[in-house]
DNA sequence: CATGAATGAGGTTTCATTCAT
DNA sequence: TATGAATGAAACCTCATTCAT
């Protein structure tokens, strides 16, 4: 992939036609599968195209280069997860802390586990500058949403909402990743869900300025 | 690097002579620097050798292949961190939960921050099967040490120590990573240290079977 | 080329299109020329590709590795020679020994001399395990054909046809090689042809169980 | 090994001291063993030195380069074989053709089989320009010796003694090689010996100008 | 003399990307 | 628009050879 020069990153054409959408979707799916099957180092554009059932040429019609393909795939996944978190946050403005936490944890874990294979596959992508930027951008969205929500807690305030959100979100991410990489058995996922709630709630109560 | 076939991973020769040790150390350091400077995809053995001030041939005298170089570097770092955690755990058997947490968090964060550049650099390595195995192995060591310690807490017991340790360790890892990737300003590191203690303590009190 | 591990040896894609066939043919021809020009040790895939007027990448589309290229080239040549011998044998079933010998010797020498440059070039290929196997396989074909033919000689039988064929074929091969390496002047080739007939005939008469 | 430039080929120092002789001998033996074990492409000077129980540096004290090592080894073997043939020829001046042939064939086959492993190993050496030259030189010695001997046959003359010798010697070489490569079982070697005599005798009688 | 660590040119092979069909 | 053969830069790794110890 080289030293990340200034290359276009956005998908080349917005898929408006139905056929295109199907093709692009197939390419994304193939990307995840290849990533999972052979790892990031052996992911080649030809292999992805093959798995997607199209030719390399076609792949390059929709993505200007390999980097953009991987980035788009990553973005797609992260966006889905963060959108779920944002939604949960918006819906819980003004609720009790406990309710908030339960909803957000549930939304996050569900979103991650819905396509646990993809989640795993993406942990395996090489994290270059661009990926880091993307992860940061998306992470910020999640933290902002959480901060906004936490600001509406009825009978408590938080001294440093941005940092508190960072702690919360990164702890959730860390624990979930650990469970995924440990195989994410149903039992573990159940435990994760429950204990993540405890962990977040305990943390928030510790840092809250009780009114 | 390909689909990780059966290739030797152990360093090729154990450096016994002083000069060799220096060389190997230089290669490790160069690896971190290159990783940080150009990212994992553009890390080439030639570049590492250059930066280390040796020839490629020399590099290959100590590491049978690129994979093993990266893996050894990763192992070196992880081992240092986990050893610190293990030591802290051992030293706090029988202490109060609060003391335990403070010591372990401090040990962990200190170890990570001591060479934050290396920590960052290693987040960026491609996580292939072998890396995953290594991370798992080392993670298990940390969790075992923590579980042993927590088993000696005076006036509380924990229903599922292995999972509790997993939650604790992965949350610590997640939060620390987030801070590192956010730039790890002194202020943030200070906050991290403090809030990680709160987070872990809160969590442990939630899941403890009070005696 | 290393210790010949488990690597694919078959040509990578069967050239069906006209253009491909031309390309592959050019690569074979280039292989022979390079072999002849610089010897087997200095034969590099790059050099072959250059001489063939294609890029290395193209070469590797048709041959998975250097080994397979050399092996295919060798096979192509040997097959041509042995096929000529087989044909001659088949055509002379039931003939007099003299006629048989003349035909077979002629067929063999002609086939070798038709592209004496290639014959020479191939003597120079490194004889690894794989080459040996190939030579054996092809040699067996020739010997079988000769044995079948000799079994139909009208008024003589042979006690050990397999070994007799081996002697015949290897002596032919040895003598022809010597002449080729001595420069294969027209005069020598003429002599070779005539004396090889004498040699083989004399031998067969010595070992025949006269009826 | 590269494009065979003008490099010294003679062994660097004549081993006069006992210790040197032992070392050089060990290196030759190691060369044959390595050739046999891993093939010519994977024969490295380091490997040879290792097997010989000396360091690379020492190897280079006795041989200026790899080429010269291989060439010397080849020469050593060929010389032994040809010397045996020369001796047999000299001893049979004036004898009957049958006696001559029997002696020479026996000498040749014995010499080859005495160290059949080495014979095999050397078939596998890459045949560069230099090797060809050596083989030619040594071959000429053998043919000359045979021609001289055949000139003394009592009651027959041969029209073209040089070519007749070439045929004889190359046929012997070809057949012997075939048997070696077929495994050189005792039975085959016995057959070879007997039939080679028949072959050579039959040939000589065919081409003799009977007196 | 022997050693073996260091060198670095060069060989093999891969793969992102293009473009004629 | 889709295809996939061709390209060639560049990566990984080897190994003949040297030379300081």
- Residue C81 falls inside a structural domain: yes
**pLDDT above 70 coverage of chain C, percent:** 90
Q: Are residues B81 and B180 located together in one domain of the fold?
A: yes
- Residue A107 falls inside a structural domain: yes
Residue B4: the pLDDT is 43
- Residue B165 falls inside a structural domain: yes
Q: Are residues C55 and C137 located together in one domain of the fold?
A: no
Q: Are residues D109 and D201 located together in one domain of the fold?
A: yes
The nearest CA of chain A is from the CA of B78 a distance in Å of 16
Q: What single string gives the DSSP state of each residue in chain B?
A: --S--S---S-SS---SHHHHHHHHHHHHHHHHHHHHH-GGG--HHHHHHHHTS-HHHHHHH-SSHHHHHHHHHHHHHHHHHHHHHHHHHHTTTS-HHHHHHHHHHHHHHHHHHTHHHHHHHHTS---HHHHHHHHHHHHHHHHHHHHHHTT-TTEEETTHHHHHHHHHHHHHHHHHHHHHTT--HHHHHHHHHHHHHHHHHHHHHHEEE-
Q: Are residues B79 and B50 located together in one domain of the fold?
A: no
- Residue B47 falls inside a structural domain: yes
Which residues have C-beta within 8 Å of that of residue A18, sequence separation ≥ 6? none
Q: Are residues A52 and A138 located together in one domain of the fold?
A: no
pLDDT digits (tens, 9 = 90+) for C140-174: 999 999 999 999 999 899 999 999 999 999 999 99
CATH of residue B40's domain is 1.10.10.60
Name A157's bridge partners: A209
HEC assignment per residue over C26-47 = HHHHHHHHHHHHHCHHHCCHHH
C-alpha distance from residue C145 to each of A182, D175, D182 (Å): 63, 18, 18
Q: Are residues B116 and B172 located together in one domain of the fold?
A: yes
The nearest CA of chain C is from the CA of D198 a distance in Å of 6
Q: Which residue has the tokens 């073209």?
A: D160
- Residue A40 falls inside a structural domain: yes
Q: Which residue is nearest to nucleotide E7 (CA to C1')?
A: B55
Residue A157: the pLDDT is 95
Q: Are residues A123 and A201 located together in one domain of the fold?
A: yes
State mean pLDDT over C116-127.
86
Name A208's bridge partners: A158
Q: Do B126 and A40 touch (CB under 8 A)?
A: yes
Q: Are residues C54 and C150 located together in one domain of the fold?
A: no
The 10 Å Cβ neighbour count of residue D88 is 22
Q: Are residues A58 and A81 located together in one domain of the fold?
A: no
Q: Are residues C205 and C108 located together in one domain of the fold?
A: yes
Does A163 reach chain B within 8 Å, measured CB to CB? yes
- pLDDT score of B5 more than 70: no
Does A177 reach chain B within 8 Å, measured CB to CB? yes
Which among C34, C64, C94 is the end of a domain? C64
Q: Which chains touch D (3 or more CB pairs under 8 A)?
A: C
- Residue A128 falls inside a structural domain: yes
Question: Closest nucleotide to A55's CA, by C1' atom?
Answer: F3
Q: Are residues B89 and B110 located together in one domain of the fold?
A: yes
The nearest CA of chain C is from the CA of D110 a distance in Å of 18
Q: Which two tokens stand for residue D109?
A: 């086959």
Of D136, D178, D205, the CB nearest to C202: D205
Which pTM was predicted?
A: 0.88
- pLDDT score of A70 more than 90: yes
Q: What single string gives the DSSP state of each residue in C127-151?
A: --HHHHHHHHHHHHHHHHHHHHHHT
Q: Are C73 and C122 in contact (CB under 8 A)?
A: yes
Name A209's bridge partners: A157
- Residue A192 falls inside a structural domain: yes
Q: Residue C54 belongs to what domain range?
A: 18-64
**pLDDT above 90 coverage of chain D, percent:** 82
Q: Do C206 and D199 touch (CB under 8 A)?
A: yes
pLDDT digits (tens, 9 = 90+) for C133-149: 999 999 999 999 999 99
- Residue B166 falls inside a structural domain: yes
Domain count, chain D: 2
Q: Are residues C108 and C192 located together in one domain of the fold?
A: yes
Phi, psi (rounded to 5 degrees) for D36 = -70, -35
The 10 Å Cβ neighbour count of residue B179 is 26
| d(C-alpha D169, C-alpha D143), whole Å | 7
Name C156's bridge partners: C210
| d(C-alpha C35, C-alpha C44), whole Å | 9
Contact exists between A and D (3 or more beta carbon pairs < 8 Å)? no
- pLDDT score of D13 more than 70: no
Interatomic distance B1 CA / E19 C1' (Å): 29
Residue A1: the pLDDT is 41
């Amino acid at each position: 992939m080289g030293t990340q020069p200034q290359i276009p990153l956005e998908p080349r054409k917005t898929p408006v036609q139905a056929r295109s959408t199907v093709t692009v979707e197939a390419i994304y799916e193939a990307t995840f599968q290849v990533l999972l099957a052979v790892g990031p180092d052996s992911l080649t554009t030809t292999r992805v195209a093959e798995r997607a059932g199209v030719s390399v040429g076609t792949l390059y019609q929709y993505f200007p280069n390999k980097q953009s393909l991987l980035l788009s795939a990553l973005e797609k996944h992260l966006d889905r997860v963060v959108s779920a978190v944002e939604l949960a946050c918006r819906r819980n403005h003004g609720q009790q802390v406990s309710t908030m936490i339960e909803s957000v944890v549930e939304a996050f874990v569900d979103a991650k586990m819905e396509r646990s294979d993809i989640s795993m596959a993406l942990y395996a992508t090489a994290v270059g500058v661009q990926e880091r930027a993307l992860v940061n951008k998306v992470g910020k969205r999640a933290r902002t949403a959480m901060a906004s929500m936490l600001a509406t807690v009825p009978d408590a305030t938080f001294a440093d909402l941005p940092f508190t959100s960072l702690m919360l979100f990164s702890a959730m991410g860390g624990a979930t990743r650990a469970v995924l990489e440990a195989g994410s058995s149903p039992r573990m996922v159940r435990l994760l869900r429950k204990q993540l709630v405890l962990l977040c709630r305990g943390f928030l109560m510790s840092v809250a300025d009780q009114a």
